[in-house]
Amino acid sequence: MRSDPAIRPPVAFDIGPMARVLSDIIRAGGTTAMTTPVDAQDMAAMMARDADRSAWFVAEVAGEIAGFQHINPYAGLPPEACDIATFVGQGRQQLGVGSALFTATAQAARDLGYSWICACIRTDNAGGRAYYQSRGFRDYQLLEGVTLANGQRVNQMLTRFDLD
């Protein structure tokens, strides 16, 4: 029996579980440009950056953080656009977590005055590409040979979702 995730802004006691979700994804490899696991202190620092132009949401299922999503300004984007990142815990994909998160995140982007959302997705991340395409994101630029912090080179696709 599937239970719908509860979506809410994170609070202090969510930071550790969020760091664990992200670190598990980083360790598994192949889906994020991040290459080094994070701890709660790293996560808190990420959340504090550009706090007035960012929004973060967690998905809670049966009392556990199943995933999280955030938007924030990004140096390579115009001021009317924000960057999005989505992290769903291992084994929690296909359970409606990402869909529920995006509903809240898209509204927050509108409330913050953004016109569109950019998702930068590794081209070898089939699940991530399918997720964003299913939300209505469309490809607009291929970045070839991007070097990650660990030296690995990947291609990334920039995708765009217009908010209205």
Q: Would you list the domain boundaries of the chain?
A: 6-162
Phi, psi dihedrals of residue 61, rounded to the nearest 5°: -130, 125
Residue 1 confidence (pLDDT): 42
Angular region, 29: left φ>0, alpha ψ -120 to 50, beta rest:
left
3-state helix, strand, coil in the chain (%, to 5): 35, 35, 35
Q: What is the mean pLDDT of each run of 10 residues along the chain (164 residues)?
A: 81 95 89 88 93 95 92 94 91 72 96 97 91 95 92 93 94
Output the pLDDT for position 89: 84
**Is the distance from CB of 115 to CB of 162 less than 8 angstroms?**
yes
The type of residue at 117 is I
Tokens of 141: 């630029």
* Overall pTM surpassing 0.75 (yes/no): yes
pLDDT at residue 94, rounded to an integer: 53
> What pLDDT, in 10s, does the model give residues 83-112?
999 999 876 555 578 889 999 999 999 999
CATH topology of domain 6-162: Aminopeptidase (3.40.630)
